[in-house]
Structure 1
Amino acid sequence: MYKLVAIDMDGTLLRSDKTISDRTKSAIKKAREKGVTVVLATGRPIEGVRKTLEELEMLTDKDYVLSYNGALVQKTKSKEAISKVTIKGKDLHYLHGLSKELEVNIHAFVENQGLVTPRNSKYTQVEADINNIDIKIDDFSRINDQDNVVKVMFIDEPEILGPAYEKLPKEVFEKYTVVMSTPFFLEFLNKNVNKGLGVQLLAKHLGIKREEIITLGDAENDRHMIEYAGLGIAMGNAFESIKEIADYITDTNDEDGVAKAIEKFVL
């Protein structure tokens, strides 16, 4: 019996118009009524998924969320952290210097400070709007080397960010988890951080075994959790590389793929 279901949001839970179908809401509700823990696994901060958590009625003492691609696992109601794996201010300063060399825009999520950037740009504004959070303009000079930084992001037009990614030094990939979550978002996290680790740490907290876990996703930042789960499910619209490693392929996000998978394997 499966006891934990972790679901990616964009391209998975959410349809192309960013809504959740009634069938998917119903399947998630029925799974939770059976005692299954259902969690959102996202690159966003908790503020960016609060509306969805409210819509799914997942704001009780028994609900959790995997935010920042697994860097932070927390209770949705109290925001109490179950696990937190960050990088440091010195990493931000290093990556800031690299962003200048590559001529790309940068912002970071800094603990107790929120979304910080040297200058606002198109895709920092997109980030803020998606997550309903404020932007703090700061040149990073007031961030100390030992301050906790949840993640750093290079954000820019795909035709700028793509070539910049190709020019990243080898040491960057050795030091950090590097995730291209969208063509305009390139994320840098603690080397140990990925959604798979987040799922693993939550499962350990809940006393749930690996073979009792289902994960659903569509993109490269879902790879680790799909590989880790007892049943890793790729969406019909997933990257081919994700379909290749999945145990099962469901329908697309616009065809109730999440609902169909939960109905088949949980209900």
Structure 2
Amino acid sequence: MDGTLLRKDKTVSERTKKAIEDARKKGVTVVLATGRPIDGVTKYLEELDMYGENDYVLSYNGGLVLKTKNREAICKIGLTGEDLHYLYEISKELGVNIHAFSETKGLITPKNSKYTEVEANINNIKINIEDFNKLEKDHSIIKIMMIDEEEVLQKAIDNLPKEVYDKYTVVRSAPYFLEFLNKEVNKGVGVEMLAKHMGITLDQVITMGDAGNDLHMIECAGIGVAMGNAFEEIKEVANYITDTNENDGVAKAIEHLVLNS
């Protein structure tokens, strides 16, 4: 969504809305795939009229795939309080801020910070201050994020222990967001699970993205589309490169690959 479907002002262009509508009229299922929680995309689901019987949303980078109409889970794979304790200690050693999404408590953090505020504002959700050390080891966590200024976060990434990459799916979804998910989770897995649920094969799927958390999804689809503003690693694995998010890149890709093909 951010950097792909949405422009910098967090709106969807009229051309993109029309392209999505026209694709759906042709029988194409259009699904929003995002690192955001479900509450962070509801306004766009409403705007794009995606609350039908066969509408879905892929949230938390594939950690939770839902039917939009009744929020029935198609796929749910998360973390635990034990993972949070482990990554919290590492975040303190690296000198970066941290927050997480709890299944029952929402957005939680031991102390507020600039980029936790950004996360809350993007998703229109409240911040809950929580002592991570007091959370039960089996507390249900959906994803954990280290957040900080770009150069601070980059230094942390450079010094992240190798074992962290062995234990988790680690993706940089924005210059100031580093996300930790269950090792079995990424957007590509979410797409695979949803395709299986829908009874279609991956070669029938088109995915579009711009950031590191889109990589697996771009690789697994029949056609992976990189935005013109995408990270270089995304462009390198994509089958097709469209225009930027500011210049109707999603609409142009749909027109070229779906409507005019």
Q: TM-score range by the shorter chain?
A: over 0.9
Is contact 2:172–2:211 with CA below 8 Å preserved after alignment?
no
Q: 1:48 aligns with which of 40, 43, 48?
A: 40
Give the structure 1 partner of residue 15 of structure 2. Answer: 23
Shift of 1:220: 1.4
Q: Does 1:180 align with 2:191?
A: no
Give the structure 2 partner of residue 229 of structure 1. Answer: 221
Distance in 1 between residues matched to 2:148 and 2:234, nearest whole Å: 25
- Structure number with greater CO (CA < 8 Å, separation at least 6) is 1
Report the aligned-residue RMSD: 1.1
What is the CA deviation profile of residues 106-152 of structure 1, one whole-angstrom value per residue up to 9, with x for unaligned ones? 11101111111111111111111110111111112342111221101
Give the structure 1 partner of residue 232 of structure 2. Answer: 240
Q: 1:154 aligns with which of 146, 153, 160?
A: 146
Instruction: Give the match's secondary structure for 1:177.
Output: strand
**What pairs up with 1:2-21 in 2 under 5 angstroms?**
9-21=1-13
Q: How high is the sequence identity, in percent, across the aligned residues?
A: 67
Q: 2:90 aligns with which of 85, 90, 98?
A: 98
Instruction: Give the match's secondary structure for 2:235.
Output: helix
Give the structure 1 partner of residue 184 of structure 2. Answer: 192
Instruction: Give the match's secondary structure for 1:37.
Output: coil
Distance in 1 between residues matched to 2:131 and 2:99, nearest whole Å: 10
What is the CA deviation profile of residues 145-187 of structure 1, one whole-angstrom value per residue up to 9, with x for unaligned ones? 1122110111111222111111110000000011111111111
Q: Does 1:137 align with 2:129?
A: yes
Distance in 2 between residues matched to 1:149 and 1:161, nearest whole Å: 22
Is contact 2:65–2:75 with CA below 8 Å preserved after alignment?
yes
Q: Does 1:128 align with 2:117?
A: no
Equivalent AA in structure 1 for residue 251 of structure 2? A
The runs of at least 4 consecutive aligned structure 1 residues that moved more than 6 Å come to: none
- The alignment's TM-score, normalised by the length of structure 2, stands at 0.96
Distance in 2 between residues matched to 1:17 and 1:124, nearest whole Å: 19
Distance in 2 between residues matched to 1:187 and 1:171, nearest whole Å: 15
Instruction: Give the match's secondary structure for 2:145.
Output: strand
Equivalent AA in structure 1 for residue 206 of structure 2? I
**What pairs up with 1:58-137 in 2 under 5 angstroms?**
58-137=50-129
Q: 1:256 aligns with which of 229, 241, 248?
A: 248
Distance in 2 between residues matched to 1:67 and 1:19, nearest whole Å: 19
Unaligned runs of 5+ in 1: 1-8
What is the CA deviation profile of residues 197-220 of structure 1, one whole-angstrom value per residue up to 9, with x for unaligned ones? 000000000001111000011111
Give the structure 2 partner of residue 201 of structure 1. Answer: 193
Instruction: Give the match's secondary structure for 1:11.
Output: coil
Shift of 1:236: 1.4
- The alignment's TM-score, normalised by the length of structure 1, stands at 0.94
What is the CA deviation profile of residues 74-122 of structure 1, one whole-angstrom value per residue up to 9, with x for unaligned ones? 1112111110011111000000111111121111101111111111111
Equivalent AA in structure 2 for residue 223 of structure 1? L
Equivalent AA in structure 1 for residue 103 of structure 2? E
Instruction: Give the match's secondary structure for 2:193.
Output: helix
Equivalent AA in structure 2 for residue 160 of structure 1? V
